Amino acid sequence: MNTLNLQSKKMLTTNIAQSTFRVQPATTVYEYSFSLFNPEDNDLQDNLTAAFPSIPTADDWAAWLSGWNSCGYFLSTQPQLINII
């Protein structure tokens, strides 16, 4: 911490503290587009997106898709990276 001393006309000393801080970089987000299909209901969910804070692994995708899979949906297209934010 740096301290700057200023004197007023009455010879009083005032200390002004100046602190330094760093701005943390924003988290990078990887956004993917894909489609899911439910063969039992013959239902296609098209143009869905998912976002991850890093390039997703197979385990990341499995965790993300687990809710959809439990409802009978499975990937019908390979996820495509559409945006890096």
Q: Where are the domains of the chain?
A: 24-84
User: What's the CA gap between 73 and 66, in Å, rounded?
Assistant: 9
Report field, pTM of the whole predicted structure over 0.85: no
Beta bridge partners of 2: 18
User: What's the CA gap between 82 and 85, in Å, rounded?
Assistant: 10
Angular region, 80: left φ>0, alpha ψ -120 to 50, beta rest: beta
Tell me the pLDDT tens digit for each residue of 15-71: 555 656 666 667 899 999 999 999 999 999 999 999 999 999 999 999 999 999 999
Q: For residue 81, which of 54, 59, 63 has the smallest C-alpha distance?
A: 54
Residue 38 has a CB neighbour count (10 Å cut-off) of 15
pLDDT at residue 27 in the model? 86
